[in-house]
Amino acid sequence: MATASLSPASAPDAAVASLRERFDEKLQTGESLRSQHGAIEGMLGGGIPDAVLFAASTEDVAAAVAICAEHRLPVIAHGAGSSLEGQLAAVRGGLSIDLTAMNRVIDINAGDLDVRVEAGVTREALNHELREHGLFFPLDPGANATLGGMAATRASGTNAVRYGTMRDVTLGLTVVTATGEVIRTGTRARKSAAGYDLTRLFVGSEGTLGIITELSLRVFGIPEQIASAVVQFDALENAVEAVMLMMQMGLPLARIELLDAVQMGACIAYSQLTEYEALPTLFMEFHGSPTTIVEQVETVRGVVDDFGGGKLVFATLTEDRNRLWKARHNAWFAAKALRPGAEAFATDACVPISRLAEAIAAAKAEADAAGLIAPLVGHVGDGNFHMLLLFDPASDRERAQAHELSDTIARIAISLGGTATGEHGIGLHKLTTMESEHGAGALSVMAQLKAALDPLDILNPGKTVPRPN
């Protein structure tokens, strides 16, 4: 991406020496630590950084990026390390900037329902701080991710059907650009027509356009009552059709999660959900007043009955609800336990709700044809589903099958008007789907944006947007 007039990169050793002079013990070069910061889940290998910086402030990040720009050393922002698409791989070496020590909740504005936090604050830590104010941050991707990482990957999760994604709840950002300049985007106002929407340009850019160091976020009042319900079906298609009708009716469900029979069987064994059967299952959550929840439940009961669902099993006590949702959040580990020693890769297709049944049926058929164990889970209220592909890491054939199956499922979603990734991002794994989804023209504009904002191509290079031929 760099132009011909730019000076060539210096040796990483020189860059690390300059960083060491500026940061001393905040900079670490131990092999184990560097390996941890380059580790990724999934099928593609990556690479480890030359050094790791434990940043304590926006000023630290800005100074580090400026030094890296001088030496043409790549920079990869690192949070909790829970991303799934290879975003953290140091494909050209470089500096991993660990933001987890930047974990201050800077400001809570209860009257305006917004907060300002540093990028290393995790969603669970934020909710701990918010609880005493009667507030909560609803986005829940499963992992206890950092909020900076969630914004960088445009994460969402189980509550997105009601509360939206990081794109919807992010009001503004503090960002370090590729030159080490600090900029601030957005305001605390709920809307603005002033200039380009830089906030949403950086949300989802996966650290390729700038490094997010602070965020201003919307938060919400804790609902008066929360109730969870579980219902099982004999056939997967009936469960999917029931969800589609609930969404078309406009039911304000907070969460509605689908597990196929394989995944439910895994969760029963792993989380001791012995009161359930290994059948296609919906996990639902209702937020609101007692009266509105009763109304929602009765409507859901009618829909479930129409599609042959079993009895709705309720959980209103906090400990019972937490047990159910912990089992759902542990689905990854439960699925991996189906084949000890296997590696796993999660697909992330999302389609219009009217095409959901078709997309899931096609994806299941492809998985069956490949002969891989591939349990399915989904935030199906917004058309998003995942298949966890289990493969033997020692088998080149199985690895290739998993890679091909992942690509096929992504392209099925795209062909139905959907996307290759509803919430995990592109990273390394889904680069080959970008032109199919966006077209060559839009992809060219993305490449121009990358070149304009990061002409040296040092910010998380090799990710998110394919390099022009």
Nearest to 92 by CA among 186, 214, 2, 215: 2
Residues 314 and 384 in one domain: no
d(CA 85, CA 353): 24
Residues 126 and 66 in one domain: no
Asked whether residue 370 carries a pLDDT value surpassing 70, the answer given is: yes
pLDDT for res 3: 41
Model confidence at 318, pLDDT cuts 50, 70, 90, reads confident
Q: Is there a domain that residue 307 lies in? A: yes
Asked whether residue 85 carries a pLDDT value surpassing 80, the answer given is: yes
Residues 268 and 371 in one domain: no
pLDDT for res 1: 38
With H, G, I as helix, E, B as strand and everything else as coil, classify residue 124.
helix
- Tell me how crowded residue 440 is: count the other CB atoms within 10 A of its CB: 9
Domain membership of residue 262 as a residue range = 225-333
Residues 239 and 304 in one domain: yes
Model confidence at 2, pLDDT cuts 50, 70, 90, reads very low
Nearest to 273 by CA among 344, 234, 281, 227: 281
Q: Over the stretch 233-243, which tens digit does the pLDDT of each residue have?
A: 999 999 999 99
Share of the chain above pLDDT 70, in %: 97
Asked whether residue 119 carries a pLDDT value surpassing 70, the answer given is: yes
Domain endpoint, select from 100, 115, 145 = 100
Q: What mean pLDDT is predicted for residues 88-96? A: 95
The CATH code of the domain that includes 410 is 3.30.70.2740
Burial class of residue 337 in the structure, from the number of CB atoms within 10 Å of its CB (0-12 exposed, 13-18 middle, 19+ buried): middle
CA dihedral 210, 212, 214, 216 (to 10 degrees): 90
Residues 79 and 48 in one domain: yes
Q: Is there a domain that residue 432 lies in? A: no
Identify the helix (H) or strand (E) that includes residue 42. Answer: none
pLDDT for res 214: 98
DSSP codes, 21-39: HHHGGGEE--HHHHHHHH-
d(CA 403, CA 429): 9
The CATH code of the domain that includes 21 is 3.30.43.10
Residue identified by tokens 């504009």 is 445
Residue identified by tokens 């709840």 is 169
With H, G, I as helix, E, B as strand and everything else as coil, classify residue 109.
strand
Q: Is residue 99 within 8 Å of residue 58, measured between CB atoms?
A: no
Q: Is there a domain that residue 169 lies in? A: yes
d(CA 216, CA 148): 11
Q: Is there a domain that residue 434 lies in? A: no
Work out the widest C-alpha separation in the chain, in whole angstroms.
69
pLDDT for res 10: 66
Asked whether residue 469 carries a pLDDT value surpassing 80, the answer given is: no
Residues 273 and 216 in one domain: no
Asked whether residue 49 carries a pLDDT value surpassing 90, the answer given is: yes
> In terms of DSSP bridges, do strands 170-176 and 211-218 run parallel, antiparallel, or are they unpaired?
antiparallel
Domain endpoint, select from 100, 119, 135 = 100
Residues 62 and 87 in one domain: yes
The CATH code of the domain that includes 270 is 3.30.70.2190
Q: Is there a domain that residue 57 lies in? A: yes
Model confidence at 4, pLDDT cuts 50, 70, 90, reads very low
Residues 352 and 306 in one domain: no
What are the C-alpha distances in Å from 35 to residues 46, 144, 152? 10, 21, 22
3-state SS of 128-161 is HHHHHHCEECCCCCCCCCEHHHHHHCCCCCCCHH
With H, G, I as helix, E, B as strand and everything else as coil, classify residue 325.
helix
Q: Over the stretch 268-288, which tens digit does the pLDDT of each residue have?
A: 999 999 999 999 999 999 999
Residues 303 and 315 in one domain: yes
Share of the chain above pLDDT 90, in %: 88
pLDDT for res 142: 84
pLDDT for res 127: 97
The H helix count followed by the E strand count for the chain is 16, 19
pLDDT for res 42: 67
The CATH code of the domain that includes 154 is 3.30.465.10
Q: What mean pLDDT is predicted for residues 129-153? A: 95
d(CA 53, CA 60): 9
Q: Over the stretch 183-213, which tens digit does the pLDDT of each residue have?
A: 999 999 999 999 999 999 999 999 999 999 9
HSE, side-chain direction, 13 A CA sphere, residue 229: 20
Asked whether residue 134 carries a pLDDT value surpassing 60, the answer given is: yes
pLDDT for res 316: 80
Q: Is there a domain that residue 7 lies in? A: no
d(CA 238, CA 218): 36
Q: What mean pLDDT is predicted for residues 350-372? A: 95
Q: How high is the mean pLDDT of the chain?
A: 93
Least confident of 114-128, 186-200, 311-325, 329-343: 311-325
Q: Is there a domain that residue 113 lies in? A: yes
Residues 250 and 346 in one domain: no
pLDDT for res 5: 41
Q: What are phi and psi of 6, to 5 degrees?
A: -75, 145
Domain endpoint, select from 100, 134, 155 = 100
Q: Is residue 151 within 8 Å of residue 215, measured between CB atoms?
A: yes
> In terms of DSSP bridges, do strands 95-98 and 75-78 run parallel, antiparallel, or are they unpaired?
parallel
Count the domains in the chain.
Answer: 4
